[in-house]
Structures are given as structure tokens and as C-alpha cells.
Amino acid sequence: MRKNAFSLMELLVVIAMAGLMLGILFPAVRSTRARARAAICQIQIRQLVIANTGYASDNDGFLCVGAEDIWDNAGLRRWHGVRRGLDEPFDPAGSPLSGYLANRRIKQCPDSPAFLTGRAWQYNFEQGCGGYGYNLTYIGSRLWDKTTYAGKWGYKEAYRKSTKTSELANPTQTLMFADTAISTDGVNLIEYSFAEPPFAVIAGQLRADMLMSASIHFRHLGHANVGWSDGHVDGRARSPVNAINAYGVDSSSMGLGWFEPVDNTMFDLR
């Protein structure tokens, strides 16, 4: 009796074809999973925007303060939590927004990189913010408001107060939250809870000659998720504009930067 079987050549062809199919399908599967994670991230950012809006409705229209004690380098109170000492991570349960969030906690971005952590303060800048950053300059403070600086403690007051929802002239084009990170060594990323605009604002004055350290992180297939003040969320691609941050790190090499237009128009209140 004659038995049917694959020849060696036929077996090799089948294996080669299977390998080719896997090579075609694997990137597609990875891309699909990445898009799914990006979609989850968008939901979480939208929850932060909604939570902040809810907070404002219970606080005379004032949105959450971003960093009320940053002016004296205390660094113990943030929009995303509190901590007892600089070398400790923030506890998200102490966030002013916790009562407006599901399970009273800020969720971690599902596409967050392997953030460097540790007990030393330089590795714990903003640990506990979930990989998300707040528009501190224009929403979580009054750094933009010249009148705040009239008194002796104007600089302090600028950080201790926030913007009112009624002061947002165009909420659809005012960034509230975004994917963020920062690097101090050009190798690792650490959590950073502020979405910095391209240019500094000092005592109510825009300084177009002073670039900020880029903190928006384009982690979702080259895009960053942005939560706008009206509640909608979208993904933005990184601009080719690059800058060296305050630590001497090339921002683009770490996936950090800004989206177009590279100015403060998508951050400010007008």
C-alpha cells in the first residue's frame, strides 16, 4: 500500500508561508491592540475633564488648583494627590478630584512607558498622576492673570488660585489634560503631571523667547491624547519642532514635544 505524505520541499513551503502570514498579521495585531489602549486612555482623560468640571460646579466655578504649594518648592500638594515628604509618591486618594472619579482614584494610562521610580525625589517628580498632565499655566493657576500679581504675595497667589469655567472663552480649543512625561537623563522617562505650553508665562506676560521643557508624550503610535475643556478628546501628532529641555535632554529622542501650532494658543483661554 502507498501512503500519502508531504515531501520535505512541500513542508518547507508550508512553513515559509505560515511564517510569511505571521509576519503580515503580527504588526496588524500589535497596531489593533495599540489603538485599543489609546481608546481606553481617551476615556480616562475624558473622565479627568468631567471630574474637573464637576469639581468646578461645586466650587463657585473655579477649576481644580494644579500645584498650590509649588511656589516655595514644597511640592506636597498637587491636582493628582498629596504626599507627606518629597521622597514619597503622591497618594491619588488625596486628589481634590478623587470624589469625582470612579473608585476615587486616577487611573494609569494603559500605554504608559516603564516610568523610572524610586524613593529619591528626582525619581518621584509627580509619581501617581497616571501619566497624565494638567494645564497648570492657564487652568490650574492664575499665572496668566496680571491682576493676581498686584499684591505682595502675587506669585504665591497665582499658584494658589485657579481659573473659572466662565473665563474659558473657547473650551473646545483649550487643553485641560494630556498624555505627559519628562526625562532628566535622556534615557528614562518619569511621571510629570503638567502639560507645559511651548512658551513660558511669567507675571502674566507671555515670554516667546523662553521655551518650556516639552512634557507632552506621544506614546500612542506617535500621537498624544488631549482632553479639551469642553469634554472631547482627540489624538494629536507631534510637531517636528524640537527643543532641549531644562535638563539638557533632546525632547524628540524621548517622544516628547508639542503638537501644531507650536505656540500657546491651544493652552490659553482665548
pLDDT at 131 (0 to 100): 96
pLDDT at 88 (0 to 100): 85
CA 211, 140, 255, 263 dihedral sign is: negative
Q: Tens place of pLDDT for every residue, the chain, 270 residues?
A: 555 555 667 667 667 777 777 666 556 556 678 889 999 999 999 999 999 999 999 999 999 999 999 877 678 999 999 998 888 888 988 999 999 998 888 999 999 999 988 777 777 788 889 999 999 999 999 999 988 876 666 788 899 999 999 999 999 999 999 999 999 999 999 999 999 999 999 888 999 998 999 999 999 999 999 999 999 999 999 999 888 999 999 999 999 999 999 999 999 998
pLDDT at 202 (0 to 100): 86
pLDDT at 143 (0 to 100): 92
HEC string for the chain: CCCCCCCHHHHHHHHHHHHHHHHHHHHHHHHHHHHHHHHHHHHHHHHHHHHHHHHHHCCCCECCCCCCCHHHCCCCEECCEECCCCCCCCEHHHCCCHHHCHHHCCCCCCCCCCCCCCCCHHHCCCCCCCCEEECCCCCCCCCCCHHHHHCCCHHHHHHHCCCEHHHCCCHHHCEEEEEECECCCCCCCECCCECCCCEEEECCEEEEEEECCCCEECCECCEEEEEECCCCEEEEECCCCCCECCCCCECHHHCEECCCCCCHHHCCCC
- Domain boundaries of the chain, sorted by first residue: 8-266
pLDDT at 7 (0 to 100): 66
